[in-house]
């Protein structure tokens, strides 16, 4: 753990650097796999699944029987928890639906937008160190609310050729239409290009390792859109003398256990708070099953003392954290001034875990500073907006001459003629 006391602004970017990876060979390897999938379809999918997941599958399609069997394996308590989370996610995302607002820019010129669902979306759900069934809810529920006709889910099989039962159950609850036993680059390639078995989708969502992220970026250049650029998960927690340091430590550890490349940042207005949090981390860390992974993330963690509240806000907005937790009594003094963050958690009773699972907000969020320009996944992520315009005789008489002058100035004569011919007809 690295600790800094009132560091100058000119070193903030160095202090807060995200973990770096050597990707010099990564994109070439991923592109080779994608090219093979585009060329050989299902045959390539089966070969890469055997190579990377260690299982030879007769079929990559998840059958109805497998979904039924999986449902039986999920405990009643977990089903109840999933139901609560699903309801809250549905309520929050349904509230984001927009109404058509038809306006007249001038008399006789009407303009409006219509929200239309993306017809086919692909969801990638990791199944490696943790089966992220919660991400199924976060992605499939807004897709269903938006009205997507095909919701395709891919998740890697285990060594027995199965997908974790909680993932399959969540998929059923959330309205997924098709499920495939595909992981890694082969899943992204299948959903981007389509194969004999897997339908091509128009937009791909979901987290993954660096190979999955590289595949998403490569296919997004020419073939399909993606939710957002992404990197390892991260949290920035703000604490002070009013904070419950045990709560703060638990928030930092909940992020650290995601993976060794997760980034954990604590900003406090005094050294005593940081020392207390560090002691709590040591106590809580000892009991964690994923202790070793969390320790690796914590080895790159950053603890910063910044006494001035305005400077704290400046640092937060410069860093643009995926998750921002204001674990202080005076959180409102800071929250309204935040301009760059994926999701903000206010007060000591609002842990990141709430947003990760059951409060209703979405946990698929921009990382690596992309919160400066990207939103997290929301209902709009699954729709496109088409503009309409309708012009009457009065409207064309009003704006037609301006169009003619502008087209002439740009030397686009055909554009001018399209208006001139109509004006001659109606005058």
Clarify whether 164 is annotated catalytic.
no
C-alpha span between 12 and 376 (Å, rounded)? 25
* C-alpha to C-alpha distances, 66 to 69, 168, 198, 243, 326, nearest whole angstrom: 5, 8, 18, 47, 43
* C-alpha to C-alpha distances, 421 to 400, 404, 424, 425, nearest whole angstrom: 10, 11, 5, 6
415 assigned to a ligand binding site: yes
255 assigned to a ligand binding site: yes
Which region, left, alpha or beta, applies to residue 6 given φ > 0 means left and ψ of -120 to 50 means alpha? left
Angle at 228 between CA 226 and CA 233, to 5 degrees: 130
Clarify whether 363 is annotated catalytic.
no
Q: Are 6 and 305 in contact (CB under 8 A)?
A: yes
C-alpha span between 67 and 170 (Å, rounded)? 10
323 assigned to a ligand binding site: yes
363 assigned to a ligand binding site: no
C-alpha span between 31 and 72 (Å, rounded)? 40
- In the set 234, 280, 322, 348, the catalytic residue is 322
356 assigned to a ligand binding site: yes
4 assigned to a ligand binding site: no
93 assigned to a ligand binding site: no
164 assigned to a ligand binding site: no
233 assigned to a ligand binding site: yes
- In the set 164, 323, 352, 363, the catalytic residue is 323
* C-alpha to C-alpha distances, 136 to 118, 125, 195, 316, 331, nearest whole angstrom: 18, 7, 23, 30, 31
250 assigned to a ligand binding site: no
3-state class (DSSP) for residue 426:
helix
CA dihedral sign, ordered 86, 92, 93, 95: positive
C-alpha span between 160 and 225 (Å, rounded)? 32
Binding-site positions for NAD(+): 124, 186, 209
Binding-site positions for substrate: 233, 255, 258, 323, 356, 410, 415
Binding-site positions: 124, 186, 209, 233, 255, 258, 323, 356, 410, 415
Q: What positions carry a catalytic annotation?
A: 322-323
Binding-site positions for Zn(2+): 255, 258, 356, 415
């Amino acid at each position: 753990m690295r600790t800094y006391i009132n560091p100058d602004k000119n070193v903030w970017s160095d202090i807060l650097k995200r973990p770096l990876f050597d990707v010099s060979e990564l994109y070439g390897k991923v592109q080779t796999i994608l090219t093979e999938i585009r060329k050989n379809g299902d045959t390539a999918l089966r070969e890469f699944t055997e190579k990377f997941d260690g299982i030879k599958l007769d079929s990559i399609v998840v059958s109805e029987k497998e979904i039924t069997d999986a449902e039986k394996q999920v405990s009643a308590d977990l089903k109840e928890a999933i139901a609560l989370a699903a309801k809250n996610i549905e309520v929050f995302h349904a509230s984001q639906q927009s109404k058509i607002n038809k306006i007249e820019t001038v008399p006789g010129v009407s303009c409006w937008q219509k929200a239309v669902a993306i017809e086919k979306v692909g969801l990638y759900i990791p199944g490696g160190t943790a089966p992220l069934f919660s991400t199924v809810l976060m992605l499939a529920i807004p897709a269903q609310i938006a009205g997507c006709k095909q919701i395709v889910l891919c998740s890697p099989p285990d060594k027995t050729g199965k997908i974790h039962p909680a993932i399959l159950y969540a998929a059923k609850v959330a309205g997924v239409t098709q499920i495939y036993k595909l992981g890694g680059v082969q899943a992204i390639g299948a959903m981007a290009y389509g194969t004999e078995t897997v339908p091509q989708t128009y937009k791909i969502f979901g987290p993954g390792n660096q190979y999955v992220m590289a595949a998403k970026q490569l296919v997004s250049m020419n073939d399909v859109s993606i939710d957002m650029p992404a990197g390892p998960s991260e949290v920035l927690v703000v604490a002070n003398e009013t904070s419950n340091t045990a709560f703060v430590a638990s928030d930092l550890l909940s992020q650290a256990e995601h993976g060794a490349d997760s980034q954990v940042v604590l900003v406090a207005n005094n050294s005593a708070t940081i020392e207390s949090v560090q002691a709590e981390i040591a106590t809580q860390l000892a009991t964690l099953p994923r202790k070793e992974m969390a320790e690796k993330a914590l080895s790159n963690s950053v603890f910063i003392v910044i006494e001035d509240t305005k400077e704290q806000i400046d640092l937060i907005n410069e860093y643009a954290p995926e998750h921002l937790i204001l674990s202080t009594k005076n959180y409102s003094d800071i929250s309204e001034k935040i301009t760059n963050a994926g999701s903000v958690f206010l007060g000591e009773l609002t842990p990141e875990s709430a947003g990760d699972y059951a409060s209703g907000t979405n946990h698929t969020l921009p990382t690596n500073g992309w919160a400066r320009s990207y939103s997290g996944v929301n209902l709009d992520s699954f729709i496109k907006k088409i503009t309409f315009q309708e012009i009457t005789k009065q409207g064309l008489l009003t704006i037609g001459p301006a169009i003619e002058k502008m087209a002439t100035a740009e030397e686009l004569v055909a554009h001018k003629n399209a208006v001139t011919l109509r004006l001659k007809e109606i005058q």
